[in-house]
C-alpha cells in the first residue's frame, strides 16, 4: 500500500479524527497511487495515523476512512459501515407516515463522498469522491443485499465531482428504473418526486422536521413559500390549516410537480397560487404591489459553497431577508434558512440582524432550525452541520 507522510505538526487534525487531509499537509508520497486508491497516512515520525482515499486533483488530497491500522478496506469493511448507517436509522424506517430518508450521509457515516437516499422502494445515490467511485460495485452489492430495493439510480451529477477530476453521471445502476414520478410519503403527506431529473437526489429530506415545526404556526394564515421546489413547506402549511399559500420557484418542473402534489393530497387548489419566477424579483414585485403575508418562508439554494464566497453570500442573504421582512406586518413570522456550510449559525443571526436593520424592523428569534437526525453531525467533522434556520417574529 502507498504510504503518505505528513509534514511535521500536520497530524493534529488527523489524530482528532477530522476526515480531511489537505494537499499542503503532504510531505512525501512513497509509491505512485492512482486517484481513488486507499493509502496509508503516517506522521512525520512514520507513526500510522489513518487510511484514506487519495486524489491529486482535489484540495482535499486524502479523505480519511479508518483509524485502526488492523482494518482492511474491503467489501466486508464497506458492508459493516453501510449496515451500521442503516441500522442507526432503523427506528425512522419503521415510521408508516414517512418513507423518504437519508440512509448514508458521507463523512458523518465514515463514507466520505457517498450519499444514499431512500425514496419508497428506490435508492438514489450520489458518488462525490474518486474513492467511492472505485468502490461502487462493492457498495451497490451491499446496498442490494441490505435493502432489496426495486432499483438504484445514480444522481452523481453534482459539481463536487469536477473538483475530484471525475465526470458527472446520471442513470440506472441496478434493478428497475424509477418512473418519471414516484410517490413518497413524508409526515403523512404524499409527494410525487422525480429522481432522475429533480434537484439534488430528487427531494430534500433535510427539511422534514422543520416543515412540521413551522406548520404548527400556519392555521388560518396567509403563507408565502419561496424557493418552494416540490412544495414541502406549502403542503405542510395546508395540512395544518393555512388559509392561503403562495409558492414561488424559478423551475418549471418544480412548479408543475407542486401543482400535482396539491391535487394528490386533495388540498383546495383555489387557495393556492403557484408562481414560476426569480424569487428576488418576485419579492420586489410583491413589495411594489403592497402585498403582505402572515408567514414568509425563505429556503434558498447554497449561496456560499466555500469560505471564499462568504462575503458575497452574506450580501445575498441580507438582501433576500430584507425583502422578506418588508412583506410582514407586526406579528408576522419569517422562517429563513441557509444550507451553506460556510455560514455558521452565529454568522447567520448577524446577517438577519443586518437585514432587519435595513428593513426598519425590530425582530425576535423564537426558534432555531437544524438538520434532522438522518443527517447526523460528527463532532470531529463540524463542516457536516450545514443546514440552519431561524424563525423570526416581527415586532
| Active site positions, annotated | 339
248 touches 227 (CB < 8 A) = yes
Burial 285-299, CB ≥16 within 10 A → b, else e: ebeeeeeebbbbbbb
Residue 353, C-beta contacts closer than 8 angstroms, at least 6 positions apart = none
Q: Which ranges of the chain does DSSP label H, i.e. alpha helix?
A: 12-15, 75-87, 90-93, 130-147, 160-163, 208-215, 232-239, 252-264, 279-289, 310-325, 345-359
Nearest by Cα to 332 from 271, 395, 240: 395
Q: Cα dist. 95→101, 120, 188, 242 in Å? A: 11, 12, 10, 25
Supply the DSSP string of 33-61, one letter for each residue. Answer: PPTT-EEEEE-TT--EEEEEEE-TTSSEE
Q: Count other Cβ atoms within 10 Å, centred on residue 366.
A: 11
372 touches 388 (CB < 8 A) = no
Q: What dihedral do alpha carbons 46, 47, 50, 56 form, nearest 10°?
A: -10
Burial 211-248, CB ≥16 within 10 A → b, else e: bbbbbebbeebbbbbbbbbbbbbbbbbbbbebebbbbb
Report residue 315 CA to chain centroid gap.
22
Q: Count other Cβ atoms within 10 Å, centred on residue 28.
A: 11
Q: Which ranges of 265-344 does DSSP label H, i.e. alpha helix?
A: 279-289, 310-325
67 touches 28 (CB < 8 A) = no
Q: Which three cell numbers stand for residue 96?
A: 408508516
Amino acid at each position: 500500500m502507498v504510504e503518505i507522510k505528513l509534514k511535521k505538526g500536520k497530524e493534529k487534525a488527523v489524530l482528532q479524527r477530522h476526515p480531511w487531509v489537505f494537499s499542503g499537509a503532504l510531505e512525501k508520497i512513497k509509491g505512485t497511487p492512482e486517484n481513488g486508491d486507499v493509502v496509508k497516512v503516517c506522521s512525520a515520525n512514520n507513526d500510522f495515523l489513518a487510511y484514506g482515499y487519495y486524489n491529486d486533483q482535489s484540495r482535499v488530497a486524502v479523505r480519511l476512512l479508518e483509524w485502526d491500522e488492523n482494518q482492511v478496506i474491503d467489501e466486508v469493511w464497506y458492508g459493516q459501515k453501510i449496515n451500521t448507517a442503516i441500522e442507526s436509522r432503523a427506528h425512522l424506517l419503521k415510521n408508516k407516515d414517512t418513507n423518504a430518508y437519508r440512509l448514508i450521509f458521507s463523512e458523518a457515516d465514515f463514507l466520505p463522498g457517498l450519499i444514499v437516499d431512500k425514496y419508497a422502494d428506490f435508492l438514489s445515490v450520489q458518488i462525490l469522491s474518486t474513492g467511492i467511485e472505485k468502490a461502487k460495485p462493492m457498495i451497490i452489492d451491499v446496498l442490494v443485499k441490505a435493502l432489496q430495493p426495486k432499483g438504484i439510480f445514480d444522481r452523481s451529477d453534482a459539481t463536487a465531482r469536477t473538483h475530484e477530476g471525475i465526470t458527472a453521471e446520471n442513470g440506472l445502476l441496478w434493478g428497475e428504473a424509477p418512473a418519471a414520478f414516484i410517490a413518497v410519503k413524508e409526515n403523512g403527506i404524499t409527494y410525487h418526486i422525480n429522481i432522475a431529473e429533480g434537484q439534488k437526489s430528487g427531494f430534500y429530506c433535510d427539511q422534514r422536521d422543520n416543515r412540521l415545526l413551522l406548520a404548527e404556526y400556519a392555521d388560518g394564515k396567509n403563507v408565502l413559500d419561496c424557493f418552494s421546489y416540490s412544495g414541502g413547506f406549502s403542503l405542510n402549511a395546508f395540512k395544518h390549516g393555512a388559509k392561503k399559500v403562495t409558492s414561488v420557484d424559478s423551475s418549471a418542473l418544480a412548479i408543475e410537480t407542486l401543482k400535482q402534489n396539491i391535487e394528490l393530497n386533495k388540498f383546495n387548489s383555489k387557495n393556492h397560487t403557484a408562481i414560476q419566477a426569480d424569487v428576488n424579483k418576485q419579492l420586489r414585485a410583491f413589495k411594489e404591489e403592497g402585498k403582505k403575508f402572515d408567514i414568509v418562508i425563505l429556503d434558498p439554494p447554497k449561496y456560499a459553497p466555500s469560505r471564499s464566497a462568504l462575503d458575497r453570500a452574506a450580501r445575498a442573504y441580507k438582501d433576500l431577508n430584507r425583502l422578506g421582512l418588508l412583506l410582514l406586518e407586526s406579528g408576522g413570522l419569517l422562517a429563513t434558512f441557509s444550507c451553506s456550510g460556510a455560514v455558521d449559525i452565529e454568522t447567520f443571526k448577524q446577517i438577519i440582524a443586518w437585514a432587519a436593520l435595513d428593513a426598519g424592523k425590530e425582530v425576535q428569534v423564537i426558534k432555531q432550525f437544524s438538520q434532522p437526525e438522518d443527517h447526523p453531525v460528527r463532532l470531529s467533522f463540524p463542516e457536516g452541520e450545514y443546514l440552519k434556520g431561524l424563525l423570526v417574529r416581527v415586532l
